[in-house]
Amino acid sequence: MSNNYYKKIAIIGAGSYGTAIAQCFSARSPEILLISDLKSLEESINFRNTSATALLNPNISCSTDFSRAKDADIIFIAVPVSAVADVCHQLREHHMKNPVVLCSKGLDIVSTRLISDLVQEIIPNDVAVFSGPSFAHEVIRGLPFGVNVASEKSALAEDIAVRLHHDKFVLKPLRDHIGLQIAGAFKNILAVGCGIFGGLKLGNNAAAQLMVNGLGEMIALTQAMGGQKDTFWELGGVGDIILTCTSRQSRNVSFGEHLAIGGTIDNWNGSLAEGAFSAKAIPAFEKKFQVDLRIFHWIHEVIYKEERPSSSVVPKLFAPLEN
């Protein structure tokens, strides 16, 4: 280990993704602290070095005491989007000024904005965004992967990349936190659409066109919000879209297939797909930024208005965009 590393990294959220990146980061930091609200997980990790799914490196510990994150060099937030605000309020209550890295992918559906905007309204900390193709079950096994890290303060993103990368982990810094967040949230919604197309037996060719057209809508929205088109050629852009939209292991794809055969969000038995939650924000983002998001709007209607999925919608979805 070189001298250029974080002495202590705290990760708020000890679910599958938080635990996976803890295992990854443990190769570059002598102390990794997971914060969880589960006493049983705290005991399992601290006494047996085991999570629910894997044997963890011995420099990983877990605590239910939020205040123990205060002396960390940097804090990663790896909780569902719906819990991010609560985490930030706790950071403020404990007067934690540490740099914060958001791993949560989604949108602030109440105020029609990015999650980083919500975070910076609550806390004054420097904030970065961490996103890219990184299924937790592969990361925790030590398989190679890469993601992007972006921040309005480019020096922060560059510092994180230098301190955390290793031979099985590529971390590329970007300046565009807007595009990276749009890609991270919207690729989950697009994956639901790909699942619907798969359930309708429309074929791989149609699914490929859905992904390309959906990518175009994401770029148009990003530019309307002040982000950069080039972000979408990065790992956190097209890389994450390919993984999430084509993998049979994607909960979002499975949820879309469920909708295609007549299922609804109310009778879905799996864990809630992130794309379903983010899709709630689509009409508001369309209206606020005046962007043609017809593919994402259609997915929203299927989920929340129970529009019957049908191949008859394809010509409308694939017509030239108005953006």
Please state the domain count of the chain.
2
> Residues 184-209: pLDDT tens digits?
999 999 999 999 999 999 999 999 99
Q: What CATH number is attached to the domain comprising 244?
A: 1.10.1040.10
Final residue of a structural domain among 118, 144, 175: 175
Query: How distant, in Å, are the alpha carbons of 26, 184, 243, 315 from that of 237?
Result: 26, 7, 10, 26
Any idea what DSSP says for residue 166?
A: B
Tell me the per-residue pLDDT of 150-195, one tens digit each, with 9 for 90 and over.
999 999 999 999 999 999 999 999 999 999 999 999 999 999 999 9
Residue 248, in any domain of the structure: yes
3-class DSSP state for residue 241? helix
Report d(CA 91, CA 12) in Å as an integer: 10
Which CATH number characterizes residue 84's domain? Answer: 3.40.50.720
3-state secondary structure of 9: strand
User: 17: alpha, beta or left, given left = phi > 0 and alpha = psi -120 to 50?
Assistant: alpha
Distance in angstroms (rounded) separating the CA atoms of residues 257 and 13: 29
pLDDT in tens, the chain (323 residues): 456 899 999 999 999 999 999 999 999 999 999 999 999 999 999 999 999 889 999 999 999 999 999 999 999 999 999 999 999 999 999 999 999 999 999 999 989 999 999 999 999 999 999 999 999 999 999 999 999 999 999 999 999 999 999 999 999 999 999 999 999 999 999 999 999 999 999 999 999 999 999 999 999 999 999 999 999 999 999 999 999 999 988 999 999 999 999 999 999 998 878 999 999 999 999 999 999 999 999 999 999 998 899 989 898 888 887 66
Q: Are 99 and 66 in contact (CB under 8 A)?
A: no
Distance separating alpha carbons of residues 252 and 248, to the nearest angstrom: 9
Torsions phi, psi for 77 (to 5 deg): -105, 115
**Is the domain of 168 the same as that of 21?**
yes
Residues marked active site are found at 187
CA pair distance 290, 66, nearest whole angstrom: 41
Looking at 118, 143, 175, which one is the last position of a domain?
175
Residue 163 and residue 51 share a domain = yes
Separation CA 129–CA 144 (nearest Å): 20
